[in-house]
Amino acid sequence: MAASEHPAPGRQLAFDFGHRPSLGGDDFLVAPCNAEAVAWIDAWPNWPAPALVIHGPPGGGKSHLAGVWRARAGAIEIPAAAVNPADIATALGAAQAAVVEDAERHVAGDAFARGLFHLYNMLAERRGHLLLTARSPVLQWPIALADLRSRLQAAPAAAIDLPDENLTAALLVKLFADRQLKVGDEVLAYLLARMERSFDAARRLVAALDAAALGAKRNVSVPLAGEVLARLGPDGHGSST
């Protein structure tokens, strides 16, 4: 990435992204990388099928957007461990909307597949809806249960990509503002050139910078950003020992 692509120090950044409230009170920034998924969430309850699949790489905001939908639809999140024929009716209860995260990771298991099939049918009978998140499109899932495969392949799907530089910058600006931190454009440019491009990494990085600035009684500067990035690593998880 060329240095000229980054905002010059002292230049005011301006962003024009939409927002969606989530269960946690944060905003979901709407950009081309997630606009299709947001449009499907906005279209609810007028979905053409009982289920919607949102897929994309880790850190793209799938879970965050699922939280937006849970708040809007009054949905419950059902853990993968409860998605089996014996437990799924109890897990769903009287709900008419449900979320199952990372569905593709478990769908190869017979119990999970049959539980997911029952969940789909129960919600369809209630005229309710099911939101599934995954890393890859349904066509790539290892689904052995033919009836489940046909239903999910017929369901609408939307991809979420990792945020681009503009969206990552806008997210950083918002996260710093939420913490009432004043950060110059030179700090943003420094972070953008070195951090992982994901919603999760941005949140971890801003939280770590806030804690470091508070602990050292320093402003968030390029040197401080360098120290924090060196400690956490580019993905914000911290170096393993």
pLDDT one-digit tens code per residue, 45-93: 999 999 999 999 888 889 989 999 999 999 999 999 999 999 999 999 9
In this prediction, residue 167 carries a pLDDT of 87
How far is residue 109 from each of residues 97, 103, 114, 133, measured CA to CA in Å? 23, 11, 9, 17
pLDDT one-digit tens code per residue, 40-56: 999 999 999 999 999 99
In this prediction, residue 199 carries a pLDDT of 83
232: confidence class by pLDDT, cuts 50, 70, 90? confident
**DSSP 8-state code for residue 182:** -
Look up tokens 């017979």; give the residue.
Answer: 110
Higher pLDDT, 59 or 128: 128
Burial category of 92 from C-beta neighbours within 10 Å (exposed 0-12, middle 13-18, buried 19 and up)? buried
Q: Which of 122-136, 144-158, 175-189 has the weakest average pLDDT?
A: 175-189
Q: pTM of the entire structure?
A: 0.75
Mean pLDDT score, 169-190? 92
CB 171 within 8 A of CB 29: yes
In this prediction, residue 163 carries a pLDDT of 85
- Any idea what the Cα angle at residue 228 is, between residues 222 and 233, rounded to 5°? 115
**Percent above pLDDT 70 for the chain:** 85
239: confidence class by pLDDT, cuts 50, 70, 90? very low
> What are the structural domains of the chain?
3-20+162-232 (1.10.8.60), 34-159 (3.40.50.300)
